[in-house]
Structure 1
Amino acid sequence: MENREQFWSEVLVFCQKTTEAIAETLMEKAGNVSPTSKEDGSLVTESDRWADKTIREAIAEQFPDHGILTEETSHIFPEQDWCWIVDPIDGTTNFTRGVPIWAISLGLTYRGTPVFGFVYLPPLKQSFYGYWYGETGLSGPTGAYRDGQPITTSDDTPSKSHLFNLCARSIKILQKPFPCKIRMIGVASYNLLLVASGVAVGGVEATPKVWDIAAVWVIVQAAGGTFIFLKDPRLFPLTIGTDYGSKSIPSLVVNQERFVLLLKPLVECIL
């Protein structure tokens, strides 16, 4: 890559402009659409499909050599070195019912490993992004950001005065005493981004798909958090030719690695 700094700047600006443009139309539709059920029981609307198509077209125009994996169309991980993983509306149930928390999520992978994540929440007018290169050999900007300002996870020890986020399919956890106050957001990306930004000390998603977590996997780690795949610890790098459409990826996010031993045993009942 001849100009790495220019490339990362182009990626960020592309995500900002694309999600903001799509958000204008989606905000007009929120709470005024009729969903249908997909085979896995999740909801989908014409707005999901429109946003998916619009993002795919924008990527194809700006980055014609990049692959694309999205929730509403292609679930097969492609052979290109660079691939975008897209969730056009994360939190479709919230979106259809007029609950003002839902997101547009874009993750960029290099040879199967997410290295950049961008999540925009139109109702809140908040954007999160981050860079995490791991063992890819890439370099460039670092850190995690909310609205352009650096964010980090909390250093606090989990307690009854701290928040831990659940998803709707993880309430089995509450059958036993839990050390924190529980919140349920209804949006996988924002659930975990609240840990990245220091609001919550942990969060769990029982059945997310790769498009739910690709972007936030980057942002959480860039912010200093720990991201744990409860069933498949070696998920990344993704495998070329694999269909990720039906693959659930139970995930735990913790604010500090030293608290994994405290929280992980409490959430493993969701498996």
Structure 2
Amino acid sequence: MNWDKMLGVAEEITDRVGKQLLHDFGQAQATTKSDGTLVTQSDKWADRTIREAILQTFPEHGVLSEEVEHIFPATEWCWIIDPIDGTTNFARGIPLWGISIGLLYQGTPVFGHVAVPPLQHSFHGFWYGDSGLTGPTGAFLNHQPIHASSAEPSGNQLFNLCARSTGVLCNPKPFPCKIRMLGSASYNLLTIAAGAALGGVEATPKIWDIAAVWAIVQAAGATWYALDRAAIFPLQPGQNYRQRSYPTLVVNRPEFVSMFLPWVQFLGESI
């Protein structure tokens, strides 16, 4: 794999698509999909444009995307696309949404790129695990290295919830950190990679919400914990991932998984 070419293609695509999405931002009319989430014509246009651009450059690769293709292909390399992560924010004029592109090798993410056009933020990271691949390493924000925080939980540190994890607030014990809710699954978890938050939880993310971020978060030294205790990767060829959710806890240091689990483990049990 020519990693420089691959990163350049991902950045060029998201820059081009992001400029058009900024033009549509706050003006697109949203409709409700069968799973209760929103979709706009901007989502559909961005999905199609990104898929076409990737296949034009990498015709031998597979593509799985939120709006069109949900069956994982039998190809060695596959891209997973979330054309607008945070569609509700996008449609309502809240400037926190992103374009997420992950590259999988033999079913497991090895590269992630997430552009957040309203903030002019561009995240990317490389995480090879036990794939046997070699290349550049690390996680980056606007090409500057980022790392998970080494701080201890406290009332001055942040932890992110999602809209479906507010049951955390029913626990009578005081939560170890200040709570935030951002409205974008990828940005929720990327704040941990960047050291801004100590942890975050997503109750029902789909594979396109997490494929790119999975690589970036781990490249930044954070810890990913599947709340349903099921292995996420490798994805299986021929399987339809449209309905599958992956309840997830991400924390800055592995020893803090046990600290936050009493508040969030019910999310894995409810899936």
Sort the TM-score into its range (normalised by shorter chain). over 0.9
Q: CA deviation at 1:229?
A: 1.2
- For residues 213-242 of structure 1, give each alpha carbon's deviation from its aligned partner in whole angstroms, at most 9, with x where no partner exists: 001100000000001111143110001111
Whichever residue aligns with residue 19 of structure 2, its letter is E
> 1:84 is paired with a residue of what secondary structure?
strand
Q: CA deviation at 1:190?
A: 0.2
Q: Which range moves more in the overlay, 195-204 or 168-177?
A: 168-177
Identify the residue that residue 18 of structure 1 maps to in structure 2.
Answer: 13
Matching residue within 78, 82, 103 for 1:83: 78
2: distance between equivalents of 1:33 and 1:47?
7
Q: CA deviation at 1:269?
A: 2.0
Identify the residue that residue 251 of structure 1 maps to in structure 2.
Answer: 248
Matching residue within 202, 212, 216 for 2:213: 216
Identify the residue that residue 147 of structure 1 maps to in structure 2.
Answer: 142
Calculate the TM-score normalised by the size of structure 2.
0.97
Matching residue within 175, 179, 197 for 1:178: 175
Which structure 1 residue ranges, 5 or more long, are not aligned? none
Are the aligned partners of 1:224 and 1:255 in contact in 2 as well (CA < 8 Å)? yes
Question: Is 1:70 the counterpart of 2:97 in the alignment?
Answer: no
Are the aligned partners of 2:227 and 2:267 in contact in 1 as well (CA < 8 Å)? no
2: distance between equivalents of 1:19 and 1:245?
23
Whichever residue aligns with residue 43 of structure 1, its letter is L
> 1:172 is paired with a residue of what secondary structure?
helix
Are the aligned partners of 1:173 and 1:270 in contact in 2 as well (CA < 8 Å)? no
Are the aligned partners of 1:153 and 1:197 in contact in 2 as well (CA < 8 Å)? yes
Whichever residue aligns with residue 215 of structure 2, its letter is V
Identify the residue that residue 165 of structure 1 maps to in structure 2.
Answer: 160
Question: Is 1:235 the counterpart of 2:255 in the alignment?
Answer: no
Segments of 4+ moved more than 3 angstroms:
none
Q: CA deviation at 1:270?
A: 2.1
Matching residue within 184, 189, 193 for 1:192: 189
2: distance between equivalents of 1:264 and 1:145?
28
Which structure 2 residue ranges, 5 or more long, are not aligned? none
Whichever residue aligns with residue 96 of structure 2, its letter is I
Are the aligned partners of 1:185 and 1:191 in contact in 2 as well (CA < 8 Å)? yes
Identify the residue that residue 204 of structure 1 maps to in structure 2.
Answer: 201
Number of aligned positions between the proteins: 266
Matching residue within 237, 241, 264 for 2:261: 264
Pairwise mapping of residues 34-113 of structure 1 onto structure 2 (< 5 A)? Answer: 34-113=29-108
2: distance between equivalents of 1:55 and 1:232?
32
Calculate the TM-score normalised by the size of structure 1.
0.97
Whichever residue aligns with residue 247 of structure 2, its letter is P
1: distance between equivalents of 2:227 and 2:132?
26
Whichever residue aligns with residue 12 of structure 2, its letter is K
> 2:246 is paired with a residue of what secondary structure?
coil
Are the aligned partners of 1:76 and 1:242 in contact in 2 as well (CA < 8 Å)? yes
Whichever residue aligns with residue 106 of structure 1, its letter is I
Aligned Cα RMSD in Å? 0.7
Whichever residue aligns with residue 57 of structure 1, its letter is E
- For residues 97-134 of structure 1, give each alpha carbon's deviation from its aligned partner in whole angstroms, at most 9, with x where no partner exists: 00001000000000000000000000000000000001
> 1:168 is paired with a residue of what secondary structure?
coil
2: distance between equivalents of 1:127 and 1:263?
29
